[in-house]
Amino acid sequence: MKNEDSEDRPRQAHDLAGKVVVITGASSGFGRGAAVAFARRGAVVVLGARRAEVLEEVVRECEAEGGEAVAVETDVSDAAEVAQLARAAVGRGGRIDVWINNAGAGAVGRFDQTPLEDHGQVIDTTLLGTLYGSYVALRQFRQQGDGNLINVASIAGKVAAPYYASYVAAKHGVVGLSAALRLELEQEENAPAIHVCTVLPDAHDTPFFQHAANYSGHAITPPPPVHDPAEVIEALLDVAVNPKDETIVGAAGKMSAATRRVAPALAEKMISRSHAKQMETPPAPETDGSLLSPSPVGTGVEGGWKKKKASRRTNRAANPSEPPSRDAGRRPNDKTV
């Protein structure tokens, strides 16, 4: 993220002051960080997620930054609950200026060894949740004549990865849905002030990997390099005031996308090698994570992966004769989030 002296920051503060911003998946990760960042810039943030108690914490954090915030317990895989989130936003601010579909879920493991129910829930949350949010947002935008829809996809929506099959399918769907909506809007002379933006992060240090279902037989670790989630939060702030069709966040993601354009087979080989390391981590039991029901762990913006990596490097430097820890790659415990 740019520093506090960034020349973009005054522009964002001016353009976002008083705007009504809806954010799904707001109880952790990018969503939580974005909620506070938008509130700090004077936006009225309407926050949706399943964990009501955690959402109230985020509301207090937003208010401490001088912003206005409201929490609406929302399961984005339920169209009726997403519609209620939209009604709450309009009821609070009279309109919706920015809608960010951020909620997502993953299941890690070989495709045919992962329960079909889990694959279905990944699609319901990640793709259908985005579709439901896009639907209510665009209907509201057309009523008021303007608005900015931001769909958080993933570089996995451009370049496939093994062991994340349903997540990859869902994110490809998010990228395609966003593109289709942009094409529809281009055909409408009366919709020039409605925008659809897609943000595509690569691996970032969030609780996503703690929340994911895991049927790989190994501890889940994010594929390297792992980036600071502040990069994605800054990208969301930027496209909210300066809409762009697609924004890839993270150097590795940009390289993967560029490689895929000119050498698709090479790009897939690079991704496969990176994700194959998933099967070299210590053993771990099967879990559905927070896929089917909310989890009490992983409530911060960060997931603690960068800290664990730095700690391991420090330990190895201090004890160069010791072999790597058997805990290398394990998911962080509650104290790291």
| Annotation marks residue 167 as catalytic | yes
Q: Read out DSSP for 27-87?
A: TSHHHHHHHHHHHHTT-EEEEEES-HHHHHHHHHHHHHTT-EEEEEE--TTSHHHHHHHHH
Residue 81 tokens read as 């609950």
Which pairs with CB-CB distance under 8 Å and at least 24 residues apart come from 324-327? 326/282, 327/282
Closest of 51, 41, 50 to residue 4, by C-alpha: 41
Check 132, 163, 167, 215 and give the catalytic one. Answer: 167
Closest of 334, 303, 331, 290 to residue 49, by C-alpha: 290
Phi-psi bin for 36: left (phi > 0), alpha (psi -120 to 50), beta? alpha
If 0-12 CB within 10 Å is exposed, 13-18 middle and 19+ buried, where does residue 296 land? exposed
> What per-residue string of b and e applies to 12-43 under the rule 16 or more CB within 10 Å gives b?
beebbeebbbbbbbbbbbbbbbbbbbbbbbbb
Are the CB atoms for 125 and 74 separated by under 8 Å? no
Closest of 321, 223, 331, 324 to residue 276, by C-alpha: 223
Sign of the dihedral through C-alpha 33, 34, 38, 43: negative
Residue 151 tokens read as 């769909």
Residues with catalytic function: 167
